[in-house]
Chain A
Amino acid sequence: MTDLEFRDFVDTYRVKALSMARRMLKNDEDARDAVQESFVRAFRNMHKFRGDASIGTWLYRIVYTTCLNILRSQHRMPLHESLNENESPVWIEPEIFDTIDQATIEDILQEEMSAMPTLYAVVMDLFYVQDCSYEQIVSITGMSLGTVKTRLNRGRLMLRDAIRSRLEPTPSFAQGGNQ
């Protein structure tokens, strides 16, 4: 890869990689360092990229590993709790977004994503922000498919409950069709 191609690569992925690192590290300064270190690693190891996965997936795996290394060095490694992988899928009713103004919803989501446990937040970020499929998330994080689905379900549940808690209780939301 030439310097020019690498420049394009950085331009394409730097914002998304930073979002992912922020979700994992919960700290802007650490996240910037992690992303810069990840790009340096990607640059040095570009010859090892075989094209088995997309280059984005490969980069996200480097970012994920780099963030875990930082968390380990800060003694903040996330705990891998055992999960029930047979939980029902959770989804958010579209009407819920019409009941509060956009700025408030964005504030709620930002707060909840920042407060969400690391391994849930990173899976949510990979799925909703980086547009990764379940299989890609498995490849990036090394989690099992069932764990990825469960973390996504619980992440959605946390966000849904946070939005609902700001609403007046109404019968239609109280009787949601899912969990």
Chain B
Amino acid sequence: MPINPSLSPIRDADFGPAQARHLMSRAGFGVTPQKLVEWHELGLDAAVRRLVDYQGVQLGELEPADLDPDVIRPYTMDERREAGIARREKDQKTLDKLRRMRVAANAEDRRMHAGLQRWWVERMAKTPRPTEERLTLLWHGHFATRHRDVRDSYLMEQQNAMFREHANGSFADLAHGVVHDPAMIKFLNNDQNRKQRPNENLARELMELFTLGEGHYTEDDIKAGARALTGYHFRDNDFHFVESQHDKGDKTILGYTAPFNGTNFVKLLLAHEACARFIALKLYRHFVADVSDDWDLLDSGTRQVVDDLAKLLRDEDYQIKPVLARLFKSRHFYDAGVVGKQIKSPVQVVVGTIHQTGAPLRNDRAIATALRGMGQQLFEPPSVAGWEGGKAWINTSTLFMRQNTCAYLLTGATPGKAFKKNDVKYDPRSLLAGFEDQNAKAAVDQLCDTMLGHHVGADRREPLVRFMQERDKGVTGDALVALLLLITAMPEYQLC
């Protein structure tokens, strides 16, 4: 059966528990059985609005990241003078002292970076605005910036806050934001982009990876774009335009000639017809299906959906919110060919397991290690191209990592180490509280419905039902932990 390419909404009556579950697993990180009831009862319009138009949802007790802005700072006047004298006079002792200061600052920065990674995982696990974090993660992967190169965790946090601020707003604000963003400027060496010696790095990625995609610009456009971005530097922790380093001459970009600056350059890119399609496909790959990132390789139905989304994006001045709302209500989104067919990212595995089971976050350093092992280290994408996603997440090695990360969250067990019952510290019985049927089959069905999806049939659930029926003591907390272990180890759990 071909997938319905229509973006017109499903009927309210067709928004059942299965659809609510699908919506929550794609727009958010999944739900518990009780939460599913609540979201379903909201109905399609209200549920989608609450997810996508989340500014009205109170954040509650989320902690700010709270990093030291001066962890990496330039020398003070005095230090600069001291360093200058020491270099001139070859004063090894002072030079060593300054070197030790730098080494200590970098070590402190690495500690802060680890803290920042933990902070984000925790925020994603606790937030009542899951779509906000899903979008922030999308923009982090889209405008991929690596701490390893930036080496200033405060700048990484500032960038993350910028992505979050505009996450469901206008893509135009995000695009303008990154050319003024200190972390991005440092990452792509635009602080070395000067009138006399242009550096093309940011200009190139801006076109290739952030707005248009390959094939829609020439090398000359890149050279001219780089000139438009000359002098876009940063000082301390803020954007700083160095007028004396800015090339004020005429540039020809994408066929237009004027004394463009960085803002004009970004506007030209946003006006280009390839941009909306490029971003629409990005949204589609993040929220709908693991298709190719090359539009030419898509089947005709997917092309139609992507182009309809692109048109909407243009009509709405690049506002993300209305595009997502349309998508999340559409016939296409709820088609059987879409549901349960997307491979979860490692972050979805970790955060989703917490959202769906209420398991504790446990040792957050172990979680950071697990994410690295599964191939998605936050603030450390493999390159400026971001994470590949889809099938690339799964191989013989990462599959065990994914299963074992779930096992760790549920029980505290790690492979190769003796397991202690006392380490479990998690009772999943509350997941089923309030439901009438508490027998083995009802428990399996409740948890399979939310964790695997309603589409996963009785034949696949049967070994789980048998497992629960064989427990002499009935549906105990212990038996439920084992059941959750099995569910998270099913191939279906890798998909959403």
The answer to whether A and B interact is no
Interface residues of A (CB under 8 A from B): none
Interface residues of B (CB under 8 A from A): none
